Amino acid sequence: MLALDRWLQETPILLEGASPDLKRQRLRRSLLWALLSLVASHLLCYLDVPAFLEIAEHQLKAPVLFLREHRARSVSSTALVRLDHSDVRAALISIILAPILWNGLARLEYHYRLWTRMTRGRSVFAHRLFSHFIIACSTIREYCIHRAVRTSSVWSLTHLHHGAEIARVLRFWGAFLYATGAVLSLSGFWRLRLYTYMPEYFGLFCSEMVSSFPFNVFSDPMYLGSALMHFGYALWCRSSTGLVLAVVLSLVYWVAARLIEEPFMYKLYAEEFRRRGMEQQREHLEHSVDIIRSTTACVKMASVHASKKCT
């Protein structure tokens, strides 16, 4: 425990500028969420969704008969997630690697001005280039996820008595989640425009905090919207692989937002507000000096004019 406290005080790798209590709280919470997500991902890999839906159907009609049938039946092949499949591995790698890449390159820009030097000192153009890099990484990740879901098995509901109705219900909720996530993501992007993609690392700051929808309801609406869209896509396609990838994506988003991006953004804005306050004080001081100088000049002119009258 003492070693953990010392690490939290001396090694601000993920939570730069934060207090040790905040670091300890975020670290415990992240470990808990990581454990829960790993357990959920492991369970989803072996979750027989068609059999689970059949449970609900049979329990309403003949629970005893269902228990006898379910005991002799193995897990459906359409519900398994093949983690050894190349498309699933590529999707997992792209999900984990994408935020690591853009956060690492953003830190290089903050500490060494990498992107600004590449664009010969044009910070605005460097930020636009970095924004297109993030969009390209997200596009590649979405392609990998789409391919992994499309090549995986689909939940077979044909053996259910109400299989067609259940499929329509799953499609409805999938479309609802996807539409909700799209509204959150697009409205957040509309509010921030290019300020969505880490402009603080390039010295570009918003003049004031955005407090309109969706930021008045959610702290990270675009990450939340993207996660909801992936959950909705998985339900629409009736894919266990899609659900596992959506859980992993949500965990990666939570770690990136809460432990890496958000604390460092607060630190950068605190430095910027401190710099603006010093500039305002310097401008006020220069203005006061100008007033004193003008007053002194007026007094000198008045004294000279009075002395001329006396002579």
What pLDDT is recorded for position 306? 64
Statement: residue 43 has pLDDT above 80 = no
pLDDT (average), residues 264-277: 77
Q: Check residue 83 and give its pLDDT.
A: 78
Which pLDDT band, with edges at 50, 70 and 90, does 214 fall under? confident
Residue 110's nearest CA partner among 197, 18, 194, 200 is: 200
Section 271-298 average pLDDT: 68
Instruction: Write the CB contacts of 265 (distance below 8 Å, at least 6 apart in sequence).
Output: 198, 200
Radius of gyration of the chain (CA): 29
Residue 192 has pLDDT above 80, yes or no: yes
Asked if the model's pLDDT at residue 33 lies above 70, the reply is no
Check residue 270 and give its pLDDT: 80
pLDDT, average across residues 223-230: 94
Provide, for the chain, the percentages of residues in helix, strand and coil under a 3-state DSSP scheme, each rounded to the nearest 5: 80, 0, 20
| Residue of 244, 89, 292, 55 lying closest to 160 (CA atoms) | 55
Going from N- to C-terminal start, the domains of the chain cover 19-288
Q: What is the DSSP code (8-state) at residue 304? A: H
Q: What is the pLDDT of residue 156?
A: 75
Number of H helices, E strands in the chain: 11, 0
Q: What is the mean pLDDT of the chain?
A: 77
- pLDDT tens, 115-146? 999 998 898 999 999 999 999 999 999 999 99
Report if pTM > 0.75.
Answer: no
pLDDT at 66: 47
pLDDT per position as a tens digit, 72-84 = 444 455 556 777 7
